């Protein structure tokens, strides 16, 4: 019995030390959606990413705040998980297939949801000069 208590104490101590050294990071990014069903879907997808401690999506501002262990994950992985369930984010676009599976109340205006960063004028010129591809 004494051995079990000592082992349990050691396990609790080890978990405490691990949490002490965890590098929690908070990031916010835009996630497109409309309703409470969207909120549940995007928050669930984000929570399923290993290392995510907490999430909160505001449907009015479309902003997601995520707290995660930076040693286990990053914001890009969270955004990718959200895109996989049909919601565009600041840097990740959901596939058309995932988007079309959303209920009608959850279908947001995709034309305004995802605007990839534009190439600088020089890069655009290079792309035009080389038949639509960049070097």
The model's pLDDT over 71-110, given as tens digits with 9 standing for 90+, comes to 999 999 999 999 999 999 999 999 999 999 999 999 999 9
Q: What is the pTM of this model?
A: 0.69
CATH of the domain spanning 21-114: 3.30.70.100
CB 69 within 8 A of CB 22: yes
> What is the C-alpha separation between 86 and 36, in angstroms, rounded?
15
Supply the pLDDT for residue 132: 47
Res 125 pLDDT > 60: no
Query: Which 3-state string (H, E, C) describes 67-117?
Result: EEECCCCCHHHHHHHHHHCCCCECCCCCCHHHHHCCCHHHCCCHHHHCCCC
Supply the pLDDT for residue 135: 43
CA-CA-CA-CA torsion sign (101, 59, 42, 89) = positive
Domain ranges of the chain: 21-114
Nearest to 81, CA basis, from 25, 121, 41: 41
CB 46 within 8 A of CB 66: yes
């Amino acid at each position: 019995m004494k051995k079990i208590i000592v082992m349990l104490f050691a396990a609790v101590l080890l978990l405490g030390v691990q949490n002490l050294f965890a590098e929690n990071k908070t990031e916010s990014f835009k996630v497109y959606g409309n309703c409470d069903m969207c909120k549940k879907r995007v928050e669930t997808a984000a929570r399923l990413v290993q290392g995510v401690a907490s999430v909160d999506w505001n449907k009015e501002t479309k902003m997601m705040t995520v707290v995660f262990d930076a040693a286990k994950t990053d914001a890009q992985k969270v955004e990718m998980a959200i895109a996989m369930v049909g919601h565009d984010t600041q840097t990740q676009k959901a596939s058309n297939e995932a988007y079309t599976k959303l209920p009608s109340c959850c279908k947001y205006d995709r034309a305004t949801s995802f605007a990839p960063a534009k190439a600088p004028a020089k890069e655009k010129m290079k792309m035009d000069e080389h038949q639509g591809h960049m070097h």
